[in-house]
Amino acid sequence: MQLYPKEITKKIDDIMNETFLKACRGEKTNYTPIWMMRQAGRYLPEYQKVRGNVTFLELCKSPELCVEVTLQPIDLLNMDAAILFSDILILMEAMGATLEFHEGVGPVFPKTFRDEESVDRLRVPDPDDTTPFVMETIRLLRKELKVPLIGFAGAPFTCATYLIEGGSSKVFWETKKMMFTSPELFHKLMDKITESTILYLQAQARAGAQALQIFDSWAGILAPCDFSVFALPYVQKIIKSLQQFDIPIIYFANNGATLLDLSVTSGADVIGLDWRINIGDAVKRVGKKAVQGNIDPFALLLPKDALRERIGRLLDDAKDAHGHIFNLGHGIHQFTPPEQARIAVDAVHELSGR
């Protein structure tokens, strides 16, 4: 579906900084592009000002406000890509799960999904009907941005853990209990989330997202043999369904160093890395795929010279990558001083451009 008339699309593309997209495709770039997971968020005073007037869910469902906070790190910090402001669990709400966000706790599902009846209640929604605010945010952002826009969704395994546990967890007892004692029910839940995610990401691509990232925040709790059965096949199915759009797909399995060889088989164009693996070692293992990462988010707290030195080492370690997008190994922490993020952005641009 053509979002804009061709002449408008061409005009937008002509003025866009495509360094991020080139790196995703493994093409030569003049410098290493950088963006940061959770870059539009609580560490920015400008975000806090917007957030002070609305709840988190109200913010996620207000396209004009989502556009404002998505643009903040681009305008303030000179990031090379924007990521849609939303939450991976918005889709779970659209599927029929009651979603709440509690201060100091995070996302909560008061009614869990641990039996056949509850799983049957979940629907596979039409994203244009149930999450129109997401698609409208994308369309509005494409009119404003001069850097590429990343859409996203949670990976089915990660989303399933929230539905089963009722929120975040440390040991994932209920999730693994279902996997090992009721595998048919677990796969049924995963099938539903997967079908919903396919429709959701396809809708984002039609609306104008120029890359898509799949966040598997809890993949690292799985042994490789279980990851290959209970998580990876669903990611592969999603990525295969997105090939028709010819846009880069990023797969990020948090705490996934032990899953790296399997993650490479996901079909993603870019493999996201956390900080628990040397990026040079990862580059050797992923082959002809781009990598994204992978500095420890807390390393942003280093003094300026030490931070620049660390960034320089990481860039050097990644020099043989088929393509490299500089990022954190996870989301930027809410207490990170914005100036430290700006030091990192400037250092990546300067040091990689030499």
Q: What amino acid positions are annotated as catalytic residues?
A: 38, 42, 51, 87, 162
- Considering only the C-alpha atoms of the chain, give the largest distance between any 2 of them, rounded to a whole number of Å: 60
Identify whether 294 is preceded by a cis peptide bond (ω within 30 of 0).
yes
d(CA 160, CA 154): 9
d(CA 122, CA 182): 18
What are the DSSP calls for 261-283, one per residue? Answer: HHHGGG--SEEE--TTS-HHHHH
DSSP tag of 124: -
**3-state secondary structure at position 217:** coil
- The answer to whether the Cα torsion of 108, 224, 123, 1 is positive or negative is positive
Closest CA to 23 of 62, 80, 61: 80
Cβ–Cβ under 8 Å, residues 345 and 325: no
d(CA 74, CA 348): 15
Backbone φ and ψ for 38, nearest 5 degrees, come out as 60, 30
Q: Residue 82: which H helix or E strand, with range?
A: strand 82-83
Tell me the C-alpha to C-alpha distance, in Å, between residue 302 and each of 34, 135, 305, 310, 343.
Answer: 18, 38, 8, 9, 10
Backbone φ and ψ for 270, nearest 5 degrees, come out as -130, 135
Cα 150 to chain centroid, rounded? 8
